[in-house]
Amino acid sequence: MAVMKITAENFKSAVEESKKPVLVDFWADWCGPCRMVSPVVDAIGEESDGTYLVGKINVDEEPELAEQFHVMSIPTLIVFRDGKPAATSVGVRGKQEILSMLQ
């Protein structure tokens, strides 16, 4: 499945109302560590068998969402279950570590 671009406009339908866990990557273009983790998040999204969804939020374009979830450093990965944050990770993580957040 493709990675979704999540905005304030689609956050409710894409994340809060999702029946599946959603991995959300808070990132920015200028962030070096974000560029390191982005291909890993993209691969996880492409490899999803439909049991979870993957999306990205650009903190420069959506500062209110970053503030709402207290994102102080990027990259920040948050797994949402039933519309609520269930697991959070800050900084560069490997694929297996990110996948374990979805378990």
* Residues with catalytic function: 31, 34
- CA angle, 91 then 67 then 100, to 5°: 35
- Three-state secondary-structure class, residue 102: coil
Do the strands 53-58 and 22-27 form a parallel or antiparallel pair, or are they unpaired? parallel
- Please give the helix or strand (H or E) that residue 80 lies within, else none: strand 76-81
Which among 34, 80, 89 has a CA at the least distance from the CA of 42?
34
